[in-house]
Amino acid sequence: MFSEGDGLPGLIVDKYADTLVVQSLTAGVDGMLDLVLAALREVYSPKTIVLRNDNASRALEGLGQETRVVLGETSGMVEFEESGIRYRADVLEGQKTGFFFDQRRETVWRSRTWCGAGGRWDCFCYVGAWALSAARTARQRSSASTRRRRP
């Protein structure tokens, strides 16, 4: 679920295999979070649900920031498959919810349209999704680089 893009402003839910990561960005969503979590449990039967309510925009609505596991347990690192590529993401400390699922269509489109002779460099890549997708789709050399700062 991608918030306004899916008609649910302030709610993001990303699914990593049997782990769900939920972000509540508004007071309205926070007020019905128990209902949202119950519906997610019923529909997806996940082993783990992580709340990533650590976005600074929550302060605009007077909400605190927190990251916590509300169902099951996790070390933070999860493995999942996206467009035929296996990834690992940190759902407790990674950017956003750990991966950029909202760029799924863009990643596939770029891998098909930007791949010509000479390969591609995915700069500031985070997990390298564009480079990996280009390498898989166009079967050409791709490079990726990023810089991660830890607090």
Taking alpha carbons only, the member of 126, 127, 19, 142 closest to residue 75 is 19
Other CB atoms within a 10 A radius of the CB of residue 123 amount to: 11
What is the predicted pLDDT for the residue at 36? Answer: 96
For the chain, helix (H) and strand (E) counts, in that order, are 4, 8
pLDDT in tens, 97-109: 656 656 656 655 5
17-75 pLDDT, tens digit each: 899 999 999 999 999 999 999 999 999 999 999 999 998 999 999 999 999 999 999 99
Q: Is the pTM of this model over 0.95?
A: no
Q: Is the dihedral of CA 106, 111, 117, 122 positive or negative?
A: positive
Tally of CB atoms within 10 A around 118: 8
Q: Residue 97 is encoded by which pair of tokens?
A: 């919810």
